[in-house]
Chain A
Amino acid sequence: MPALVTSRTPAFQGLERALIRRRLMQLDPRLRVELGLLALLTAAVLFWQVRVPLDGLARSRGPFAAIGVVAVAWLILAALGSVLAGGYHARRLRAGPHGPEWLSLPLESSRLERHLAWESCSRLPWLAVPALGVLAAAIGLVPAWWLALLAAAFVGLLRVAGGLGCAVGYRVVLAATEPRARLHPIERVLAVAAPRVARRRVSGARWRSAPPWVALLAKDLLVTFRVAAMRRTAAVPIAFGVASLLAWQLPGEPAFRHFVAFALSLLAAAGLAEWLIVLAGSDPFAALRVLPVGVMTVWGARAIWAVVGALGLVATQAIAARGLSAHALQLFLAWSGAATVAIGVLGINYGVTLFPRVDVASRMLGLSLVLAMVASIMLPLSGWIILLTAVLHSARRLPRWAWLEET
């Protein structure tokens, strides 16, 4: 009989090292450099935003006040990491984690629990990016040994916070799992993960003769209505869009309402782009690529959604923002409409060209939008340059759509 794989065996350590290596190798070298640069820029922006206020604080209230701010910032990051890891862990346990049929392997349950939690915490190192920005901003303002101590504490804290989040996520899933005698809790959770739903039927299909892009549009709509996660993603831009309309009813200065409405409309555009990324990720590789459709048909069908979203936003804003002067209204509508189309197209480009890595596409979108926003704050209109550059840059890989293999 084979020996039980215990916590002392190096099998999981080897697996975890291989997974990290494999995930890095999955990103092509250019994308790795781009991600590194974006991380560097994000850290630099944080440095730029934090350095001056921190310097003022250190001068007025002493270095310990600055140390306190750094510690609080890192505590917030660790708390965020805990929430993210916990939520991700709970989702994975409910859906059934990736990997082999874990319950069929002779594993020590506690080791399996640790490995699954490790997997859920594997994204937490990304939080080191903003933490490094804050760290760089504090260099020279507080004693170096304090910073080293705090940095070491942050690394430990992030691990503890991730573990804590996973533990909470695990308990939440476990609480919703039917108790079974003689089964270890993790076995109970995995045994009922992704339970088979009762046989379900849907209404009959609509057979129609139409151009391929119409079929793609109809299919996108059907998939969105059918899949709960997709429905939630689609609800986000609608919610932000409605909020941006309601912003015109806020009390206060017109300029404040204008600012809030515009900011919320940009969030609606980002939500729309995220939905378009998820839609692209839902396309089965082989199913679509053996059909007589090219990337322009697929891209075009998705671009129609971006245009529909922009038109919907502009039309409703034109009614809600009636109080603005004609010139200001035209400018607002042109700005928010163009931004929605550009952000939507950026989402489509990332979704299509980074298929099937929806997570990487979402991260690239988020980083690009943060950069564009920061650039706009630094230098008016420069955000547009960043955004349009990102759109053009991301479009370069579109011609390879037909043979972007699942990796």
Chain B
Amino acid sequence: MLHIAHLTRRYGAIAALEDASLDVAPGEIVGLLGANGAGKSTLLRTAAGLQPPDAGTVTIDGVDLWSSPIEAKRRLGYAAEEPSFYEELSADEYLAFIATVRGLDAAAARARAAALVDALGLTGRTTEPVHQFSHGMRKKLSFVAAVLHRPPVLLCDEALEGFDAGGALAAKGELRALASSGIAVLFSSHVTETIERLCDRAVLLHQGRVVRVLERAAWGAPPSGPSPLEREFLVVAGSTP
């Protein structure tokens, strides 16, 4: 579903990505793990079409990103590490704009947005301009915008960073639901625990190179559902654990 082949990207003399290749199959959640500066964001930004590679190709659901960018982006969702919005629009207006540009059915998109917003704990805040949002709320909005159209390929760059426990659990649930419906998810994080809990496979990136690929069996199955601390948080926050 997502095929990244021999991707190289340099910033002057610095090689942010060096011959990086990976595949994500339909229904699979692949974790991209690496230290700060390992090249995770560069890989995801390049795969999202935000910057051209110096070499290599990105194929999204069979469509080459750089020869048919619009067609490829129809099949793509991207939750950025530092999302940017039209700050004066409300979250609701921003999502309506995204839905129209993506050509979604208005009523269905509205219902899906409402469900996601509710699950992530943004209910009651969607008529406020985005510039009033906290960092975590902005990340949640970016996540909703990325999954609104149930893209065949979803790229998440530190997507859950800044989420509260309830929001993070809901987002993980949404990611699992999307994956079980056949969507390929590439999820970057420098938090190993998130990758352990969420992903089927982990790709380790170091100095722009893919240095190791681990199957889930390599790290075992962590307990499903919320941890004891998360349970406490959800009780305090008034959500059902």
Contact = CB atoms under 8 A, between A and B. Distances in A.
Contact of A405 (B51, B76, B78): B51
Nearest to B155: A290
Q: What is the interface residue range for chain B against chain A?
A: 35 or more
A396 interface: no
Nearest to A405: B51
Given A207-B107, A284-B86, A219 B49 contact: no
Nearest to B98: A291
B85 A293 contact: no
Contacts of A405: 50-51
A201 B88 CA distance: 11
Contact of A209 (B70, B83, B88, B105): B105
Interface stretch (A210-218, A337-345, A368-376): A210-218
A218 B96 CA distance: 11
B10 interface: no
A209 B106 contact: yes
Interface stretch (A220-228, A254-262, A307-315, A359-367): A220-228
A219 to B, nearest CB: 5
Contacts of B83: 286-287
A218 B51 CA distance: 28
A29 interface: no
Interface in A181-228: 197, 199-210, 212, 214-216, 218-219, 222-223, 226-227
B101 A290 contact: no
A207 B85 contact: no
A140 interface: no
Contacts, number: 112
Interface in B84-115: 84-86, 88-90, 92-93, 95-107, 109-110
B49 A402 contact: yes
A145 interface: no
Q: What is the interface residue range for chain A against chain B?
A: 35 or more
A291 B105 CA distance: 16
B128 A209 contact: no
Nearest to A282: B86
A285 interface: yes
B172 interface: no
Given A290-B73, A403-B50, A219 B89 contact: yes
A283 B128 CA distance: 19
B239 interface: no
Nearest to A208: B106
B116 to A, nearest CB: 14
B215 interface: no
A292 B61 CA distance: 14
Contact of A290 (B49, B85, B95): B49
Contact of A289 (B50, B74, B128): B50
Contacts of A284: 84-86
B147 interface: no
A285 B84 contact: yes
Contacts of A212: 100-101, 103
A215 B94 CA distance: 10
Most buried by A among B92, B95, B101, B110: B101
A216 to B, nearest CB: 7
A293 B52 contact: no
B37 to A, nearest CB: 18
Given A209-B104, A219-B86, A284-B86, A292 B128 contact: no
Nearest to A293: B101
B48 interface: yes
A197 B132 CA distance: 9
A210 B49 CA distance: 24
B24 interface: no
Contact of A403 (B51, B71, B107, B129): B51
Interface in A286-319: 286-287, 289-294
A291 B127 CA distance: 23
A197 B88 CA distance: 12
A201 B86 contact: no
Interface string B110-135: 10000000000000000111001000
A287 B96 contact: no
Contacts of B226: none
B225 interface: no
Nearest to B113: A207
Nearest to B126: A205
A80 B50 CA distance: 41
B69 interface: yes
Given A204-B92, A223-B86, A290-B73, A209 B100 contact: yes
Interface of A: 197, 199-210, 212, 214-216, 218-219, 222-223, 226-227, 282-287, 289-294, 402-403, 405
25 contacts: A197-B132, A202-B93, A202-B129, A206-B96, A209-B100, A209-B103, A219-B86, A222-B89, A222-B93, A286-B48, A287-B84, A287-B85, A289-B49, A290-B50, A290-B80, A291-B73, A291-B98, A292-B71, A292-B74, A292-B102, A292-B103, A294-B69, A294-B70, A403-B50, A403-B51
Interface of B: 45, 48-52, 69-71, 73-74, 76, 78, 80, 83-86, 88-90, 92-93, 95-107, 109-110, 127-129, 132
Given A202-B127, A285-B84, 5 more contacts: A201-B127, A208-B96, A212-B103, A222-B89, A287-B86
Please name the 4 residue pairs, one residue from A and one from B, whose CB atoms are nearest each other, closest first: A284-B84, A215-B100, A205-B96, A205-B92
